[in-house]
Amino acid sequence: MKIATILGTRPEIIKMAPIIAEINKRGINQIVLHTGQHYDKEMSDNFFRDLEIPAPDYNIQVGSGTHGRQTGLMMKGIEEILVEEKPDIVLVQGDTNAVLAGALVCAKLHIAIGHVEAGLRSFDVTMPEEINRRVADVCSLMYFIPTEESAVNLLAEGFSRKNLFITGNTVVDACFRHLEIAEKRGFEEESLKTLDIDSMDNILTLTMHRAENVDVEERVRNIISALKELSDMNIIFPIHPRTKHTLENFGLFDELNNLDHVHIVRPIGYLDFLLLTSKSTLILTDSGGLQEEAITLDIPALTLRYNTERPETVTAGGNILVGANKDAILENANRILNDSEFADRMKNAVNPYGQGDAAVKTVDAIEKYYREGNLNIAAPEDIMDSFSRKMAKIDIDITVREFEEAENGLIHMVFDGEKMRFPTDELNLKGMMITYDKRE
């Protein structure tokens, strides 16, 4: 079997690293293809070093540009490589332009796609990421899904449960493995050593790069006016290159950088960043990955967005959406700082993203599909199966597996009276309403 992984940005390298390492460990043939969307050393190369994975086999070097240009160049480069390499499956991760380009190319070439971190939805179609992840899900064969909630999103859109694998999120694998290494090593980044982070208290780690925040002057101004008033905190801000450019364009960079309690530093390596996060009192972010890392590391998070495709972090109690609203930022940040019961409740939120074995579960599922011949994509030769869609209220003790065997059907949706549930094989259906497809 040959597995190809496509990645292009910082979070994709971080979240694919545990899977790349697991594939290597099992001696499976693999190639890694970098689109070159992120190209600065501190946004790309340093992560291969910190996460101890080999340099990519290919780099398409698309660089920065408009969405259309970037995606088009990626498609061209990815197609050329995949036609040569002929992998059995291609893995894409998350919701960047690499995911969109990789998924479209593979769908046209009839190569199986595994979407890692599938099923997330913000329901905000103005976000480029929302379009990318939805298109990738339409094109995919295997779905590696962090939580039951995201799996339910896919069921609601009509995807068959057969190909949905709830694995947890590989961000937890990476966090657990590397935090220990980071703690033993200590800070290496000069800017953090100079600041003497270890002697600081009340650390607020800030990151922001989302287009809908940093490209909109009014939002940036609101956020900065809140930061100005958080002078009880030591704000450490490893700045994303996109944000640096827009702050400079808006003439706001110096204004923020001149505040005594705000320390803007260049983007920092993964180990240094994990260590910084773990020592923080609070995280203020619009990053997807950081919302997940915060709840994994038991650090309260305030998210600078009005919606999130990670709602589990909010319902679990570890994350609060504050948008770019100055009052909401200040009120919640001050409460975390001054109300220890409130802060403890946020810290004790249960991590919804699994136990750190997402990479093992993902590669297990791929190997099984390969062995069973399920990665081959071919036009159907059989006359279409006929089935009817039915609905039923279940009032006996019966598991999903037992019901499906008895009815020769596949359960689609399960409602427990309050919300949709994911039909795991062993779920007892008593008292639930279901829809299912029954083969004739």
Active site residues: 209
Residue 256 phi/psi, 5-degree rounding, is -75, -45
CB-count exposure of residue 226 (10 Å: 0-12, 13-18, 19+): buried
Of ligand UDP, ligand UD1, none, which one sits near residue 241, judging by CB under 5 to 8 A according to partner kind?
A: ligand UD1
Alpha helices (runs of H) in 297-430, residue ranges in sequence order: 311-315, 326-338, 340-347, 358-371, 400-407
Given 1, 2, 28, 43, the residue binding ligand UD1 (CB under 6 A)? 43
Q: Which residues, 170 to 209, sit near ligand UD1 by CB under 6 A?
A: 209
Given the complex with ligand UD1, which of 269 and 409 has the nearer CB atom? 269
64 touches ligand UD1 by CB under 6 A: yes
d(CA 128, CA 81): 25
Output 413-420 pairs: Cβ under 8 A, ≥24 positions apart: 413/155, 413/156, 420/152, 420/155, 420/156
Q: What Å distances lie between residue 276 and 129, 207, 253, 285, CA to CA?
A: 27, 12, 22, 14
96 touches ligand UD1 by CB under 6 A: yes
SS3 of 214, please?
A: helix
Q: Please, what is the minimum distance in Å from the beta carbon of residue 71 to ligand UD1?
A: 9
Structure tokens at 184: 């033993």
267 touches ligand UDP by CB under 6 A: yes
Q: Which residues, 207 to 236, sit near ligand UDP by CB under 6 A?
A: 207, 209
CB atoms within 10 A of CB 379: 5
117 touches ligand UDP by CB under 6 A: no
Given the complex with ligand UDP, which of 10 and 133 has the nearer CB atom? 10
248 touches ligand UD1 by CB under 6 A: no
Q: Pick the piece of the chain touching ligand UDP (CB under 6 A) from 152-160, 266-274, 309-317, 424-432.
A: 266-274
Given 18, 102, 168, 288, the residue binding ligand UDP (CB under 6 A)? 288
Given 18, 289, 354, 409, the residue binding ligand UDP (CB under 6 A)? 289
d(CA 422, CA 424): 6
What is the binding site for ligand UDP (CB under 6 A)? 10-11, 14, 207, 209, 238, 267-268, 270, 273, 287-290, 293
Contacts to ligand UD1 by CB under 6 A? 9-11, 37-40, 43, 64, 95-97, 128-129, 209, 240-242, 245
